[in-house]
Amino acid sequence: MTVAPATTALRVRTRELRLDGPLLDVLPGDSGELSWVRGDEGLVGWGEAARFAGAGPERFAEADRWWRSLVDGLDAGSYRDEVGLPGTGAVAFASFTFDGGSAGSVLVVPRVVVGRRGDRAWLTEITPAGEPAPGAALPVPSPVRAGGRLRYADGEVAAHRYRGAVAEAVRRMRAGELEKVVLAHDLLAHADTDLDPRFLLHGLAQRYPTCWSFAVDGLVGATPELLLRLDGRTVESRVLAGTMWPSGDTDVGAALAGSAKDLREHAYAVDSLACSLRPLVADLQVPETPSVLTLPNVSHLASDVRARLDPERPVSLLTLLEAVHPTAAVGGTPTPDATALIRQIEGLDRGRYAGPVGYVDADGGGEVGIALRCAELDGRTARLFAGCGIVADSDPDAEVREAAAKMRAVRDALAG
């Protein structure tokens, strides 16, 4: 289903703003928190001026058409962007489902956006033409609420069922059916009071300042993986695949860089992205060897891929997303076979977990990551997700431990 934009044209104004504290501190609370923040930079927003909701294999194309229509219909006479940086002007926060068969893909155009890049900050107000603009001063945020005592329960796929799915995937790969598949499972956390998305956002941002802390329509997390950034003609992506976590005195970085299993898994993910991008871009640059990205709970093999749009056939970020999702990093190799196996044996509706999340701008660019290290918040309940790349020599017990290590990021942030 697609929900139409506001029936009247939207008025957009971006102006300079003095902002001394963290971006997340300006979120007022109980206003539909939206976030795409890394360190001191990014965007936060609240309120809702328009919304797209979609499902199915055409969800990216439908979202692109909806967004272009909304941008084309903006009230040109009142459109003001006094800053002119990536993320200024009209923007929509985006979150798409992993599988086209799942409902929940959204673009949310907020009424208020606060952003910062470098030493410049700005305020964007988006309102239907004819309505009064928000007040000049930012609202005073309500106190951030902790959820109190947490009780955990199995989700749709408990750890023992996840282990069984991994073992079945390994059996099929050893039989030659495919090379890699990414399997996930979930966990439920129940709190004493309604969960405040800002509490989880703050906790994740403090623990993982090099990750992108996101919140869109109840999905809250911190992802280390930049799926795509489109700024002008420049396309960038950070591919993560291959994971280890601290254990005793082991040099995790050296062990990861020398692991044949993890290097093979990483190569599948990089090749998948490059093959999907190549028909749409020029000057594609792929590192010959990955680096190691170290986070507090795990380390990953990482490759930063760069390209430029072909000036004779420019495309939007949403068009690029349709081409690359799902990559081998979150689906598997060959991707059609891997996603079919996920549907057969995972036993989980991932929703927007492992789907693209971020923002798009009025020029068709923006930044989108992969929704990892995240939870879906609904009142007093948080649904946590974690997944692992499985190859033929994967050990099911080790994959269960890896998923638990990845889930620790959200568990610790929820606990405060």
Query: Do 219 and 93 touch, CB atoms closer than 8 A?
Result: no
What are 285-297's pLDDT values in tens digits? 999 999 998 888 7
**Angle at the Cα of 257 from the Cα atoms of 252 and 185, rounded to 5 degrees:** 70
Looking at the DSSP bridge assignments, the partners of residue 16 are 122
Give the per-residue pLDDT at 307. Answer: 96
CATH of 150-415, one of 3.60.120.10, 3.30.420.40, 3.40.50.10680, 3.40.190.10: 3.60.120.10
pLDDT at 7: 54
pLDDT in tens, 141-163: 999 999 889 999 999 999 999 99
Beta bridge mates, 360: 92, 366
Domain ranges of the chain: 10-128, 150-415
What mean pLDDT value characterizes the chain?
92
pTM exceeds 0.75 for this model: yes
Q: What residue type is 56 in one-letter code?
A: G
> Would strands 180-191 and 332-333 be described as parallel, antiparallel, or unpaired?
antiparallel
Task: Confirm whether 406 is a catalytic residue.
Answer: no
Which residues lie across from 31 on neighbouring strands?
none
Catalytic residue among 62, 225, 399, 402: 225
DSSP string, 41-56: EEEEEES-SEEEEE-S
Q: What was the pLDDT predicted at 1?
A: 47
Q: Which of 168, 180, 322, 367 is catalytic?
A: 180
Using alpha carbons, select from 225, 228, 215 the residue that is nearest to residue 266: 225
Q: Hey, is 93 helix, strand or coil?
A: strand
Question: In the annotation, is 288 catalytic?
Answer: no
Q: Are strands 10-16 and 80-81 parallel, antiparallel or unpaired?
A: parallel
Q: What is the pLDDT of residue 347?
A: 95
SS3 sequence, 113-179? EEEEECCEEEEEEEEECCCCCCCCCCCCCCCCCCCCCEEEEECCCCHHHHHHHHHHHHHHHHCCCCC
Among residues 320, 293, 288, the alpha carbon closest in space to that of 305 is found at 288
> Which helix (DSSP H) or strand (DSSP E) does residue 105 occupy?
strand 105-109
* CA separation for the pair 360, 353 (Å, rounded): 19
Amino acid at 40: D
Q: What percent of the chain has pLDDT over 90?
A: 78
> Which residue, among 83, 80, 90, 93, has the nearest Cα to 37 in the 3D structure?
93
